[in-house]
Structure 1
């Protein structure tokens, strides 16, 4: 599912960054913090836009299909067009 979000953002021309928890020495701490934010084991990917938690892939795709993703990305400065 991470690939799907990355592909969508790349196709849209979004400026994005990935933080891979399994490669970060503090990854388990970040995972615990995310679990506290979402109230369960955090879904992968957990997407933030402009520092705001959006959610997992299904939420990103739902926003995209509903026409709400582009305004969020523009507001965050992650999409220029």
Structure 2
């Protein structure tokens, strides 16, 4: 028995993002011992949660999607604190729609892990990647370009 799914998208990029996220979810479910006939909810990238996330990313030079107990999230926040850079943080585990927001971020970035750090509208990765950019002296330049615009 196979898994069949119908998909309507407006462009090729939407299809690639959606299908890569779907594949990741299926692979993860299979690795965790799940049956191949699992049901996976589609993420509506044109719905209200996706619109909210896209707007948050657009409106903030630095935004961190985090969970309060996550050590990598703490690394990302500490990095921006060390730089003295203001940032917006959304703690997904404290938000009623946090799971849906994480689904949208998964679809946008290709991973469900937190933190998801955005600078100037671009995802730069998680805590480890953020810290590495800081150590390389690149992070402050990225932030300053955004703050100057």
TM-score range, shorter chain: 0.7 to 0.9
**Aligned-pair distance for 1:50?**
2.4
Give me the TM-score of the superposition, normalised by structure 2: 0.47
Specify which structure has the bigger relative contact order, considering alpha-carbon pairs within 8 angstroms and separated by 6 or more residues. 1
Report the counterpart of residue 89 of structure 2 in structure 1. 18
Matches of 1:26 and 1:50, distance apart in 2: 24
Determine if the alignment matches structure 1 residue 44 to structure 2 residue 133: no
Computing the radius of gyration over CA atoms, which structure comes out larger, 1 or 2? 2
Structure 1 unaligned spans of 5+: none
SS, match of residue 44 in structure 1: coil
Q: What is the rounded CA distance, in whole Å, between the counterparts of 2:132 and 2:117 in structure 1?
A: 13
**May I ask how many residue pairs the two structures share in their alignment?**
77
CA RMSD across the alignment: 1.6
In the TM superposition, residue 32 of structure 1 has moved relative to its aligned partner by 0.5
Partners of 1:20 and 1:75 in 2: CA distance? 26
- 1:1-81 matches, within 5 Å, as 1-40=72-111, 42-77=112-147
For structure 2, list consecutive stretches of 5 or more residues without a partner in the other structure: 1-71
Q: CA deviation at 1:71?
A: 0.7
TM-score w.r.t. length of structure 1: 0.82
Runs of 4 or more off by more than 2 Å in structure 1? Answer: none
